[in-house]
Amino acid sequence: MIDIHVNGQARRVAVGSTVSELLAELDLSGRTVVVELNRQIIRRTEIEAMVIESGDRIELVHFVGGG
Amino acid sequence: MDPLIIADRTFASRLIVGTGKYPDPTTMLDAIRASGADMVTVAVRRVDIENPDRDDILRTLDPEEFALLPNTAGCYSAEEAIRFARLGRASGMSDWVKLEVIGDQETLLPDTEGLLVATRTLVAEGFVVLAYTNDDLVTALRLEDAGAAAVMPLVSPIGSGLGLLNPLNIRIIKSRLTVPVIVDAGVGTASDACATMEQGVDGILMNTALAQADDPVQMATAMRLAVDAGRRAYLAGRMPKREWAVPSSPVDGIPG
C-alpha cells in the first residue's frame, strides 16, 4: 500500500492503482468529477492509464451551487 | 424581447441566475425555471468523498436544459482563478467562465489587477471570459481590450441587495463598451432589476435576490418581468424629465 492525499485527507491505496481505480473505489465512476493530480488536471482519457504514486496529492472536484 | 448575444451564443433571456444558497434543490429548480434564464452559474468545489451526492448540482440541473457558466468564486489571486477556470472547463461542459478575482474579504470587491491578468491568460487559452468587476469605466475598458466576451460590473456589493447605487457609472460603462455589459451583483428586488435594465445594460446576473427571498419562485417570476419591463422601457426611450408640471389634457376648449 502507498500513502496519498485525496481532497486533503490521508488515504492508502494499493501499489500500482490507477486514478480510474481510485474513482471506482470512491463510487465516483461515471460522474462529472474533475481530477487534479499534484496540481495537474488529468484528462478523462488519461485516468485509466494514470498510475498513482506514493505521496501524490489528488483533488476531486465537481460543480456545486454558486452565484 | 430582443435576444442577448454573448460571444457566439444567443440567449432568449437577459437574466442569468446563480444556483447558490437556495433552501432546497426543488425550490432552486422551480425558481430558475420561473426566472426564464437559459444560463446558470455554478461553482467548482471539492467532492465530499463520504457523501458524493451532497452538493452535486448536476443531480438537480440538466446541462441540456441550462447552459452552465462555471465561476471562480472564492479565488483571491489570478493564479487561483485560472486554476478554477481550468478545472471547470475540464468537466467538458463549458469553456465559458464567470471570472471573479476577489480583492477584499469583507466587501468582495474585485482585485482588478489580478482580474486583468487572469482575463488575458484565459482568453489566450480559448476561454470565453465574462469578467465580474466594479463599476469603474477604466477597468471595464481594459477588460474589453484584454478580450473579455462580456464585462460584468456590480451595482452594489455581492449579496448586499442594495440595488443600483450608481446609475451614472453603469450608463457610462454601457455607453463606452462594445461587448455586452451584464450587471452582476447587488440587485435586491424587482424594482432594482427594472431600474438597472433601464440604464441600457444588456442583462443582469443575480443569485441571492432569488435564493434568499421568502418565496424564491415568486421572486424569480417578478425578476423575469422586471428585466423584461426595464429592457422594453429602455428600448422605448423614456420621456424627458422636467422640473415643472406640463398638463396632459388640452388647455384650450375648457368650457366657460
Question: Distance between CA atoms of B39 and B152, rounded to whole angstroms?
Answer: 15
Contact B57 A65 (CB under 8 A): yes
Residues 3-62 of A with CB under 8 A from B: 6-9, 26-28, 31-34, 36, 39, 41, 43-44, 59-62
B29: nearest CA partner in chain A: A65
Active site includes B98? yes
Q: Where are the domains of chain A?
A: 2-61
DSSP secondary structure code for residue A44 in this structure? G
Q: Which of B27, B46, B25 is nearest to B35 (CA)?
A: B27
Q: Which residues pair with A36 in a beta bridge?
A: A41, A59
Kindly state the cell numbers that stand for B139: 477597468
Query: What sign results for the dihedral spanned by CA atoms B147, B149, B155, B159?
Result: negative
Contacts of B211 (CB under 8 A, 6+ apart): B18, B20, B21, B22, B23, B28, B31
Kindly state the cell numbers that stand for B113: 489587477
Q: Which of B99, B90, B95, B76 is nearest to A36 (CA)?
A: B90
CATH code, domain with B144: 3.20.20.70
Q: Give the residue carrying C-alpha cell 449579496.
A: B159
- B4-8, B53-57, B145-149, B209-213: segment of lowest average pLDDT: B53-57
Kindly state the cell numbers that stand for B84: 478554477
Q: Give the residue carrying C-alpha cell 482585485.
A: B111
Query: Do the domain assignments include residue B242?
Result: no
Q: What percent of chain B has pLDDT over 70?
A: 100
Kindly state the cell numbers that stand for B126: 480559448
Question: Distance between CA atoms of A38 and B16, rounded to whole angstroms?
Answer: 34
- Which of the residues B21, B98, B174, B241 is marked catalytic? B98
Does the model's ipTM exceed the 0.90 cut? yes
Question: Distance between CA atoms of A42 and A29, rounded to whole angstroms?
Answer: 15
Provide the pLDDT for residue A58.
Answer: 97
Q: Is B21 left (phi over 0), alpha (psi -120 to 50) or beta?
A: left
pLDDT higher than 80, residue B1: no
A16-41 confidence digits (pLDDT tens): 999 999 999 999 988 899 999 999 99
Number of other residues whose CB lies within 10 A of the CB of residue B7: 14
CATH class of A2-61: alpha beta
Question: pLDDT averaged over chain B?
Answer: 96
A35: nearest CA partner in chain B: B87
Q: Give the residue carrying C-alpha cell 475598458.
A: B141
For residue A32, which residues of chain B lie inside 8 Å, CB to CB? 58, 91-93
Residue A59's alpha-carbon distances to A6, B80, B133, B191, in angstroms, are 6, 14, 29, 43
Contacts of B244 (CB under 8 A, 6+ apart): none
Contact A67 B91 (CB under 8 A): no
- A42-51, B138-147, B159-168, B170-179: segment of lowest average pLDDT: A42-51
Q: Give the residue carrying C-alpha cell 446609475.
A: B167
Provide the pLDDT for residue A64.
Answer: 96
Query: Do the domain assignments include residue B252?
Result: no
For residue B205, which residues of chain A lie inside 8 Å, CB to CB? 67
Question: Distance between CA atoms of B61 and B55, rounded to whole angstroms?
Answer: 12
pLDDT higher than 90, residue B256: no
Query: Do the domain assignments include residue B249?
Result: no
Beta strand extents in B8-145 (DSSP E only):
9-11, 15-17, 39-46, 67-70, 96-99, 128-133
Q: How confident is the model at residue B53 (pLDDT cuts 50, 70, 90)?
A: confident
pLDDT higher than 90, residue B45: yes
B175 lies in which domain range? 4-235
B182-241 confidence digits (pLDDT tens): 999 999 999 999 999 999 999 999 999 999 999 999 999 999 999 999 999 999 999 999
Which H helix or E strand runs over A56? none
Query: Do the domain assignments include residue B255?
Result: no
B99: nearest CA partner in chain A: A67
Q: For chain B, what is the domain count?
A: 1
Contacts of B56 (CB under 8 A, 6+ apart): A31, A62, A63, A64, B47
B93-137 confidence digits (pLDDT tens): 999 999 999 999 999 999 999 999 999 999 999 999 999 999 999
Contact A6 B91 (CB under 8 A): no
Question: pLDDT averaged over chain A?
Answer: 94
Which H helix or E strand runs over A30? none
